[in-house]
Structure 1
Amino acid sequence: MIIVGVDGSVAARAAVEWAAGDAARRHVPLQIVHVTDTSWYLVGKRPDAVLPDSVHKEGRRVLREAEALVRERQPSAEITTREMEGTPAEVLRELAGDATELVVGSRGLGGLSGALLGSVSAHVAGHVRCPVVVVRAEHRPVHGEVVVGLDDSPECEPALAYAFEQAQLRGATLRAVLAWQLPVHAYAPEAPYDLDEVRATQHQAIRDRVKAAGHDHPQVTVVEDAPCAHPADALITAAEQADLLVVGSHGRGAVGAALLGSVSRGVLHHARCPVAVVRA
């Protein structure tokens, strides 16, 4: 089951469309969830305080609109809706325990409040077992390419497997990016450094990872990309012509040392296409 969080915003609408399309490709049910954020209402009130009915009516309206959108885009979709109360990030994180995928918008209002890396994205991406897809409120043409960020650790393997799956489902090309930067000593005149050798080594690293992960997806065309650049910059550039950018949540080396570190934050803030964060 794919879960998508909604709040009535333009970004949430984009997330619903993305989730509906992916549910159709995977042939899995879609659950639309609206979480009424009770943290603001219960401040200074008794723990047993009840939300006004108008708040619940708004939540039901948001769910009806989201369901109607899915019915329009994917008439045969199996849909359920769910209205809940609590802190949105915590509720979605709990619900995602048994989900195939969790999808959220990048510029939510109300229940999915705040900026892209606000309470929901920062506390859900990488903290649940399933992939988390963050969708921006921007209409983009289909490019037919999925980009995945690789690094020098085994922690990137789940992200690569997910990227292969997405590329196959979409009939898209998979662009595997392993960005690299020269060590500081390489810039010293007395320390010779063979750039061609470095590039060859990086391409071989990509080939080894892709070969190991691609056995079940032989029909997916893979493009190797090993630019000499900061990893976040390389992935953001590659994502300009992509339908999806996939990154690992706990990679080391090129994809960063920690969840939402410099690379993850960079791509989530600046990549214009949807970004999938896959936990190692």
Structure 2
Amino acid sequence: MKKLALVGAAALALFASACSSGDQPSSNPGAGSASAPAPGGASGTLTVFAAASLTESFNALGKQFEAAHPGVKVTFDYEGSSSLVQKLDNGAKADVFASADQKNMDKAVQDGVIDGQPTVFATNKLAIAVAKGNPKGIKTFADLTKPGLNVVVCAQQVPCGSATQKVEQTTKTTLKPVSEETNVKQVLAKVQSGDADAGLVYVTDATSAAGKVDKVDFPESSGAVNQYPIAVVKNAPQAALAKQFTDFVLGAQGKAELAKIGFGPGK
């Protein structure tokens, strides 16, 4: 009788255990969960160092990438390309670097902080940002030399500053800026605030600030077109995600988003 009781108790315990396990959620984090990591287990934070002129486009692409890769968070550090290379040289951790010119990307490659071959994904050229209504009547690049005009440009080591210098050389025009900024967004901000009458920015920056500034195009800008390369950073904490993000930027969605505010096509 004791043996029969023990057998019955064991069978009852097994039955209860089976019923209980059927009520528990699956241990698979992707099962029935909208916030599950992307296929392949990708998750975590992806850090992108990007030229300041990419702010609007990359913010939008970052959200699209996150939507396609649940569990991934994309963070951006937007500065002048030369400043970003310096940070990488000093050991800053990042996964992707997108430069506003080839020169700074080449320096990053030479300094050994880039993994693989960079790829050009967009092009850009300069435009003149002026106050709404263009009260100073600026119509040409040469107009920026008018007496009493407060002009702001990027510093020479920054891609937009290098492009400005190239236009000055080809047109034999010498500007006398009241300040030289470390990135193009700072130039744009000074025009928006009224601290400057005009600023040399990219077409994309002036377009993204439509309604806050007016844009004056000038034909000489075609002689100083900047190429934008992108690459995975060496020893990237999220190397696999970094490759996926660069492919995303180079793909159809990336091209479409960049074209919205006037970036030209890359390779």
TM-score, normalized by length of structure 2? Answer: 0.27
Task: Answer with 1 or 2: which has the greater Rg.
Answer: 2
Bigger relative contact order (CA 8 A; separation at least 6):
2
Larger strand fraction of residues: 2
TM-score, normalized by length of structure 1? Answer: 0.26
